[in-house]
Amino acid sequence: MKIFIAGGTGFVGGHLKRELLKSGHELRVLVHKRSPETESAVEQVEGDVTRLESFTQAVSGCDAVINLVGIIREFPSRGVTFESLHVQATANMLAAALKSGVNRYLQMSALGARPNAVSKYHKTKFRAEGLVRTSSLSWTIMRPSLIFGPKDAFVNMLARQMRLAPVMPVIGDGRYRLQPIHADDVARCFARALEMPETSGQCYELCGNNRMSYVELLDAVAAALGKSAPLKPQAPLGLMKLVIPIMQHLPQFPITMDQLQMLIEENICDGRWKEVFQFEPIDFNTGIAEYLRP
């Protein structure tokens, strides 16, 4: 297949490109600016996912479209918003696929996307899903939990803090649970879905086998670094709900209210996706040890 990908230069995009190339596919990747480094079977196309006219023509001749575009934090002054990069970008990708006669469409969403979500992140991810579901395309939606891997943002951020000091403040009681999944496993699900007609019209919640509380996750990261469990002073949840709205506008501040909400409401699933895609996900402790070990 020749596959058009938006978001292919990001964290998960790198894993997906490797997986698709390994399966023998040709890729056409939307980029803001071409890189001098070229990969065999990968064509770079300059464009902007928020400007339909900038990339529609590049979708022509492809057999499938994959939309990985997403952000975890808004920067409105730079035009980086959930509305533009989740909702409008999806509308543009769907329009480009329809105009170019491409019927197969895969969408990256997020575990927790739902109509009554509190966070703007989940709300806009769900609205984007709605656009996909009501299209006439042969679509598949993936909803991954927290994604980890060598270049991830979250686990590496925790590791950097632990290398500086053995103290990790915890908001609230830290008992809220997560079920991380490796980027390689997310990529495998996307790649396999392309070959499985029965995944058309389906939405899959993707999570790993390790369901853990936030404090247990911190201890796992410390162990991967060869360190003892960090001290975990608790920051009262009520106090943080007062402080974060004031401080979140500073780019250097590490958390927003959206991120806090997603953290405390948990991020777990039942793992039924394994019955469809027929493989076991990478163990969290094993996976992070490969890139965090001293």
Contact present, 128 and 86 (Cβ < 8 Å):
yes
- 221 occurs within a structural domain: no
Residue 59 makes CB contacts below 8 A (sequence gap 6+) with 4, 28, 65, 96, 97, 99, 100, 102
Q: For residue 176, which of 58, 260, 243 has the smallest C-alpha distance?
A: 260
Confidence of residue 77 (pLDDT cuts 50, 70, 90): confident
- 61 occurs within a structural domain: yes
- 257 occurs within a structural domain: no
- 194 occurs within a structural domain: yes
7/156 Cα distance (integer angstroms): 21
Confidence of residue 38 (pLDDT cuts 50, 70, 90): confident
- 227 occurs within a structural domain: no
31 has a pLDDT exceeding 80: yes
Structural domain span for residue 154: 2-213+262-292
Q: 179-229: per-residue pLDDT in tens?
A: 999 999 999 999 999 999 999 999 999 999 999 999 999 999 999 999 999
- 247 occurs within a structural domain: no
Return the CATH number at 103. 3.40.50.720
Alpha-carbon radius of gyration of the chain: 19
Confidence of residue 132 (pLDDT cuts 50, 70, 90): very high
H/E run at residue 139: strand 138-144
- 107 occurs within a structural domain: yes
Q: 90-124: per-residue pLDDT in tens?
A: 999 999 999 999 999 999 999 999 999 999 999 99
Contact present, 150 and 290 (Cβ < 8 Å):
yes
CA dihedral 167, 251, 119, 90 (to 10 degrees): -130
37 has a pLDDT exceeding 90: no
Domains identified in the chain, total number: 1
Average pLDDT over residues 243-264: 90
Tell me which of 78-92, 200-214, 254-268 is least confident. 254-268
Model-level pTM? 0.95
Average pLDDT over residues 147-171: 96
- 250 occurs within a structural domain: no
Q: Which two tokens stand for residue 72?
A: 């975890």
